Amino acid sequence: MYEDSFDRAMEETPEARDIVGDDLYELWCAKHSEKDLAAIAAATEQISAFEELSDHLETNPALAQAWRRQESYLIDDLQMRLAQGGLSLSPGFFTADEVTLSMRKMEQQYWNKPWSLSRYVMLLAIANFVHCIRETVDEIVSPQRIAEMIERWQFLGQHCMEAEDKRLRSLVPHVQAAIHQLQSEKMPSRNRVITTIYLLDCLDVWRDTDALSPRWQQFFKRLQRSRLWRKVSEDVGL
């Protein structure tokens, strides 16, 4: 009875999501995960073109609810697939100049100041670099760039739908989740899809360590030896 009442409250009361908090909401989503993902997979088999998927969702309230519950999981899994090379937006969306912009910010705002603790404390340097990356993303990602990114994802969604590889076809829901995230989250630095793509394009630049300045070479060597980097690498399969 409690679970049924909870389900009704979450489905029918607009304020319920904020009332229950993140932890309880995530438990509720996980409880329905198997059923929801099966319904989502079945829905993708019923359409012949990727662009039909959003219309299919809008006309089926139960399916739309399943999608809302599992969107966070789909984005998490998508980030993992992108990091491991199971899916890619080729060529890169962000240019090398856009990547190095965040690096220049780090140098100008922190490392060029002799008294800055970011020159000596690794964790603080990482935190400030993340701040520079977020600043950069907000500066360079305009509504027009988001529209271009959505168009790229739509093309990728159709490619996945037509693929003979079952692993690619299984990513159709992930692509739709990415598009919805791009459409709904207006601040670029808070958009998980945008920040993931930016960081992946950053990795392409950072891998060529010989082209980096000595300070950046030292930073990435220290970063790779840190427990934080090892944990991130294990989590995303780098």
Per domain, the residue ranges of the chain are 83-236
| DSSP classification of residue 171 | T
Mean pLDDT score of the chain? 84
Cβ atoms 116, 110 nearer than 8 A: yes
> Per-residue pLDDT tens for 216-228?
998 988 887 776 6
At residue 238, the pLDDT reads: 43
- Judge contact between 21 and 48, C-beta under 8 A: no
Higher pLDDT, 88 or 156: 156
The pTM for the full model equals 0.82
